């Protein structure tokens, strides 16, 4: 967890920095004025901000309001020699997490930071589970990237890209692009494309939607580009698709019918046999998962999933590498 300390008093700033830097999981950056802290915050690197009320260039409350223009979610703690109610009220209105008066009890400060860290860890785990349900990603533990993924999963159908996502997270597009690539191993645009294509596959399984409908539903503006990208993503060629459909029809898993509105198109629907098979496979997977995780705590199950995700990512990375035969 990265902590910003903003205080114009060197003794307090350095002492607090030394105290918190002793924690094995915390990285501390100190700033003597609000301007320096805000400049650094534009790069999106703070998990928590600790600030004083009174500083030479700007008050802590003014800085907090400026911070909220850049980052609406970062937790903020105020340490101040002022115990006036109007200061505390304004701080609460600005979304300050905790208002502590000086001299501050180190135990209270560390307890507040540990609570914030625990909440952020829980948020990371929730977003990790959601992200890995959508696409096969290597394990991601960066909260900012997970929030970007969450935003894309909620808005993929809209006309969004790197600039819009960065704006929603209050960081620069260049910083998000580089952080996303380093954290996930994928370019931002590559992830968004794969997300849209995977969503489209689910929609295409529903006979109510035409390809042209799905193209718009998942955020593509060009139907031809969608078609090319879809075939490339899922390794489809016309002979391959035709052969698979013929075999499925022969085994009574699908029915292929002409489209009444457009004779050039065919409609494909699942048979009762296919639905029964799908249900049986789903039940088998649920049973297998229960057996595999029997006797494990929730934490142990999550650890197992992370290890399996890591192993899967490693195999995908080396899938094109020639493996020597004994």
Cis peptide before 103 (omega within 30 of 0): yes
* pLDDT single digits (tens) 244-287: 888 999 999 999 888 777 777 778 888 999 999 989 998 998 89
Sign of the alpha-carbon dihedral angle for 184, 187, 192, 193: negative
- pLDDT at residue number 192: 93
Three-class secondary structure of residue 101 per DSSP: strand
CA separation for the pair 183, 202 (Å, rounded): 27
Which is more confident, 240 or 112? 112
* pLDDT single digits (tens) 73-109: 788 888 776 655 566 666 666 667 777 777 778 888 8
Cβ-based burial of 186 (10 A; exposed 0-12, middle 13-18, buried ≥19): middle
Check if the beta carbon of residue 241 is closer than 8 Å to that of residue 266: no
Count of Cβ atoms closer than 10 Å to residue 16 Cβ: 21
Does residue 60 carry a pLDDT above 80? no
* pLDDT single digits (tens) 181-199: 888 888 999 999 999 998 8
Give the domain ranges of the chain: 2-103, 122-219, 271-304
Does residue 125 carry a pLDDT above 90? no
Which is more confident, 274 or 60? 274
CATH fold label, 2-103: Rossmann fold (3.40.50)
CATH fold label, 122-219: Arc Repressor Mutant, subunit A (1.10.10)
- pLDDT at residue number 43: 67
In what helix (H) or strand (E) does residue 2 lie, and over which residues does it extend? Answer: strand 2-6
Pure H helices in 8-105: 10-21, 34-41, 60-70, 85-93
% pLDDT > 90, the chain? 12
* pLDDT single digits (tens) 302-319: 888 778 877 776 776 554
In what helix (H) or strand (E) does residue 270 lie, and over which residues does it extend? Answer: strand 266-270
- Strand partners of residue 99: 78
């Amino acid at each position: 967890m990265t902590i910003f300390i903003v205080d114009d008093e060197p003794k307090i700033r350095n002492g607090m920095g030394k105290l918190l830097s002793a924690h094995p999981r915390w990285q501390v950056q100190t700033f003597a004025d609000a301007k320096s802290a805000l400049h650094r915050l534009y790069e999106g690197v703070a998990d928590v901000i600790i600030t004083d009320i009174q500083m030479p260039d700007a008050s802590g409350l003014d800085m907090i309001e400026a911070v909220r223009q850049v980052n609406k979610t970062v937790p903020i703690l105020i340490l101040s020699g002022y115990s006036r109610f109007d200061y505390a009220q304004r701080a609460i209105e600005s979304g300050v997490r905790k208002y502590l008066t000086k001299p501050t009890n180190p135990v209270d400060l560390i307890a507040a930071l540990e609570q914030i860290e625990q909440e952020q860890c829980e948020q990371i785990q929730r977003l990790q589970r959601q992200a890995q349900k959508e696409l096969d990603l290597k394990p991601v533990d960066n909260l900012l990237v997970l929030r970007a993924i969450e935003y894309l999963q909620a808005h993929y159908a809209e006309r969004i890209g790197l600039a819009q996502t960065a704006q929603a997270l209050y960081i620069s597009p260049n910083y998000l692009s580089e952080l996303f690539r380093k954290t996930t191993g994928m370019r931002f645009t590559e992830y968004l494309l794969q997300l849209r294509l995977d969503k489209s596959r689910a929609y295409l399984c529903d006979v109510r939607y035409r390809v042209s409908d799905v193209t718009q539903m998942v955020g593509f503006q060009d139907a031809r580009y969608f078609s090319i990208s879809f075939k490339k993503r899922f390794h489809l060629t016309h002979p391959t698709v035709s052969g698979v459909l013929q075999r499925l029809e022969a085994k009574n898993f699908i029915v292929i019918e002409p489209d009444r509105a457009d004779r050039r198109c065919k409609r494909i629907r699942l048979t009762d046999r296919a639905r029964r098979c799908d249900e049986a496979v789903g039940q088998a997977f649920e049973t297998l998962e229960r057996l595999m995780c029997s006797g494990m705590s929730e934490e142990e199950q999550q650890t197992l999933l992370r290890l399996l995700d890591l192993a899967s990512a490693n195999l995908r990375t080396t899938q094109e590498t020639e493996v020597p035969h004994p």
